[in-house]
Amino acid sequence: MQNVGIMGPYNATGVSDTPSRSKILVCRPSGASEEEPCARRIISNLAGKAFRKPVNAEHLEGLMSAYQVGRDQGDFESGIRVALQFILAHPEFVFRSERSPAGVAPGTDFRVGELELASRLSYFLWSASPDEELISAASRGELQDPALLQQQVRRMLADARSEALAKNFGGQWLHLRSLAEAIPDFYLYPDSDENLLASMRRETELLFDSVVREDRDVRTLLTADYTFVNERLAKHYGIPNVLGNKFRRVSLTDENRFGLLGQGSILTVTSFSNRTSPVVRGKYVLEQILGVAAPVPPPNVPLLEENDIHGGQSSKLQSVRDRMERHRAVEPCASCHKIIDPIGLALENFDAVGAWRDRDSGFPVVASGELVDGTKVDSPASLRKALLNYSDAFRANFTKQLLTYALGRGVQYYDMPVVRSIIREAGRNDNRFASIVMGIVTSTPFQMRRAE
């Protein structure tokens, strides 16, 4: 198909009703005397949602003045239109402001108001403004009650809107957003395209969402023996009997595919367009999975020599491992690569787009190595088992990453006692996702702020 044509509507007699208009126009006046009461109802409803709190009488009068300006220039809907424009341009809609209470001295810590807490909670779990139920609960002061707060948190996690955690937090923590910038070399990976990359990201989002929705142990992200694929991704992985574009949950029999480290999204964002990168993959596992800062390379370190795949020099091709062995043979490269490389090399059977391979540039893949603690690894499965020995580091890093996302700022040294207390409490509840979330939303950093 090369073009699309749209014809009609014919004989239109006015503006048709739409879902958007129905949400805005919650009442319709049948006469002039009903216009102002109806306008107040519509504007109060819109403003409450836009400003994330009930609208007081003084605030409503200001909005009604805007309505009246539009009404004087046209009809009832003109008035509503001007009022809506005023609401959408209002600072309280554009910004999430949290004002210090009167009489609080600068530098003093104070507990945020119930409505501000409702917004913090909603944007954390839903990436959206609070719904009417949450605003009502906050208005009644119920969020101060730990039991009622937990009830709201579990309701929100069970809601479909909590998928925002997988898309936004997952995209931030796991660097899934970088998939949009990935351009695999078509000459080397002709099977790769935008549809495949989009399917990879969706697989990881669905795995994360299953941990949220089923309230699983967060370490399931490393150990999951199931995943979500459509036909396109299943064929890429070699999983049989999956047809169509719809994603479905499948059990995995190959332990190398278990968890995040077996997923194409992670393996692609840690590769270059034309080859894998054990260094990038090793650094990713250290920093994003374990929360350990990788060594900083010294200045003027030469780049890894590339294969001339387009120049016809097939006799000079070398595997990534062989090129790395030369690169790290001398200091200052050797000491840093000793920490990073064995992790990345254990994943070398996955190519730059996450497909399994036994050969690299014509040479057998050698994935064996030894971690700095002496553990020998030779495959993604053995690496995963080795990382589980450091599950405390994973839980701590996951908690810090999620707290960073919830607060909208980096976790500082003075936040670490809170992080440790969240981890301890979650450990008593099998490290379930909801336990970590509850620890965050009841924590001092989340519930309090410092007066400017």
Per-residue pLDDT reduced to its tens digit, 10-52: 887 777 788 889 999 999 999 999 999 999 999 999 999 999 9
360 - beta bridge partners?
363
Ranges of the chain whose pLDDT falls below 50? 313-315
How confident is the model at residue 315, as a pLDDT?
47
How confident is the model at residue 252, as a pLDDT?
97
Per-residue pLDDT reduced to its tens digit, 336-352: 778 899 999 999 999 99
How confident is the model at residue 38, as a pLDDT?
97
Cβ pair 349, 295 in contact under 8 A: no
How confident is the model at residue 147, as a pLDDT?
95
Residue spans of the domains in the chain: they are: 22-94, 114-145, 406-450
Token reading at 181:
């910038």
CA-based R_g, the chain, Å: 27
Q: Which phi and psi angles does 363 have, rounded to 5°?
A: -105, 145
Q: How far apart are the first and last CA of the chain?
A: 59
How confident is the model at residue 282, as a pLDDT?
96
